[in-house]
Amino acid sequence: MNFGIVYISLLILVLAFGFLGSGKYLKIYFFITDFLISLPAFFVRPISFQYFDTLRFSDLLNQIRGVTHVSGPIGGLQWALQNSEYHNQPLVAGYLWLFSLLKYNGFLFGVTTFIFLMFLSGILLNMKKVYSYTSINLIVVKIITLMTFNLFFQIEGIRNFLSFMIFAFALTKDLFRYAKSDKLIAYVLYVIAILIHPSVTIFIIIRLIISVRYKRIFNTNFYDFFWILVFLLYNHFIGVIVSILQKFSNISFIEYIYLKSQNYLYGQSNYDSYASSNEIFFTSLILGVLILEFILFLRITERKNVSESVYVTNYLYSIAFTIGSFQSTQVYLRAIEMILFLSIPLKLKLFSIDKIRSKKIYIVFLYKILIVSFAIIAFVFWYRATYVKVLV
């Protein structure tokens, strides 16, 4: 059976259980359903003559096992830290080594997918603690996000989208929770996200830029205009960015970012070498829908506290960076997925509007229908593009 059929069956089951009752035991509900959704990741395998990164990671785990068989567990860890392709990313190398100690490679994909889903659930729970959203709205927004996102990208890639989801979770904990312990957890998670995949670095830089904005040191309108322009046009300064990275490439982690920048930042004009034209078009369509959703959010909702305003500004800068990345295919496509993850608090607020006395309530109702419809269309697209090529 292909992955898509199993996946959609599980999502329908999760939604059904959510409507039957999950209010009192929401955390337990999320834990159990996240486990169920991640379970097929343990068994995934590409159809014949189809290559996915699951094969690359499986080969790497087998290599580490081979070294461990000869030199013992410590020898396997040393090889992963010194000789594997992730030798300059010790957290990733150590993470892969842990799973190499297990008999089946599927544990890597299943457990990592479960962690990804738990952080997604964590974003929803963070927002519920602040705004007391209904459990049904949380579940519906989660299903919409999962259907719009290609979950197999997370299963096969392991690192990139996990780091994005961890960042999105940390950002809600950073901005919407005020306890010092929440801030500390958020900062630790920012570091972990970078160590998992350096592509999240730009979004952490955006968070730092936003923090300066709210110090009221500069005129905020000018500050916003300046940075939005920078992010929209940054592709024209890639040479300078890469040369700065090169100067610090004697540092292992910076060297890794520098080497990756050769592929990710320099203009990848031959798009079909990095993604199909259909994938680029449809992922761009997702961005278009997210921008329209953002405009609707700005028009019909009020920012009642500083946290919401900071988050909205952060979201705006991130969209500007994503649009500015259009000439760099890898960065552009991945950044759109980050925007999707960051849109979760906006979706929750829009889905929770039900007491507006004006035509706006009809606009919100239409929005709900359209966003659900688009999520279904997205799932169908990913099914045909990817899920049907993966067996469970």
Say how far apart CA 113 and CA 34 lie, in whole Å: 9
Q: Residue 243 in 3-state DSSP? A: helix
Pairwise pLDDT comparison (234 vs 286), residue with the higher score: 286
Residue 126 lies in a domain: yes
Residue 63 lies in a domain: no
Model confidence over 168-190: pLDDT tens digits?
A: 999 999 998 777 888 899 999 99
Work out how many domains the chain is built from and give that number. 1
Residue 356 lies in a domain: yes
Residue 89 lies in a domain: no
* Neighbour tally for 233: CB within 10 Å: 11
Residue 263 lies in a domain: yes
Residue 303 pLDDT? 73
Residue 273 has pLDDT above 60, yes or no: no
Residue 243 lies in a domain: yes
Binning pLDDT at 50, 70 and 90, where does residue 3 land? very high
Q: Which residues of 111-133 are buried (b: 16+ CB within 10 A; e: fewer)?
A: bbbbbbbbbbbbbbbbbbebeeb
Residue 229 in tokens = 């322009």
Q: What is the CA radius of gyration of the chain?
A: 21
Binning pLDDT at 50, 70 and 90, where does residue 287 land? very high
Range of the domain at 321: 3-42+105-391
Residue 61 in tokens = 């785990």
Residue 258 pLDDT? 56
Name the least confident of 4-8, 32-36, 228-232, 276-280: 276-280
**Per-residue pLDDT averaged across 119-145, rounded?**
93
Say how far apart CA 277 and CA 259 lie, in whole Å: 26
Model confidence over 121-133: pLDDT tens digits?
A: 999 999 998 888 8
pTM here? 0.91
Residue 91 lies in a domain: no
Residue 263 pLDDT? 56
Residue 309 lies in a domain: yes
Burial class (CB in 10 A: 0-12, 13-18, 19+), 183: middle
